[in-house]
Structure 1
Amino acid sequence: MTMSEDTSSWSSERESQASKLIQKSKESPFVPIGMTGFAAIVGLGLYKLRTRGNTKMSVHLIHTRVAAQACVVGAVTFGVLYSMYKEYVVKPRETNPSK
């Protein structure tokens, strides 16, 4: 096996994972929203770490963790509610147009 064969298998594996991520994002758009919100809150928490004042570091980190978890849980909740809406409200209307 040569080095070029090695890198081609890696690139095809990365492309397939990227395409899987894009496909999953289209199926449930709230997952990447939750991931982005999580990354933004953690980045903001790290940025504010320098200017936290008299607040203990442990308290600052706990607040950042709770905010990041709330963002992810909120995105998952909205995703579930959206899928339930599509499943139980939109789909019955499409199958029974007489109502």
Structure 2
Amino acid sequence: MKTYLLVTLLSGAFAVASAQAAEPSQTPQQQRMTTCNQQATSQALKGDARKTYMSDCLKNASSKPGEKSLTPQQQRMRECSNQATQQSLKGADRSTFMSGCLKKKE
């Protein structure tokens, strides 16, 4: 009888623990999806416009919806390219400058 009672209590404890584990907090992607969905709803977007908005919003997690986010490498390439353009570099000189610029650490 004691064994039966012990097994029943342990089973109940495991059931409660597994129920609590099944309700984790939202991941950052889930939070972003919730935010994007709320924004799309507040703008009354429907159909293809909503799909496009949601896609852009979810891809650009680090930026405002509608803005294209760049990776750190892309940002560095853009900065180096702008510097090379300001210096009016072309051909081999531009290639050499870009190579050196991209290798620099900030």
TM-score range, shorter chain: 0.3 to 0.5
Higher relative contact order structure (alpha carbons within 8 Å, sequence separation ≥ 6):
1
Q: TM-score, normalised by structure 1?
A: 0.40
TM-score (norm 2): 0.39
Q: Which has the larger radius of gyration?
A: 2
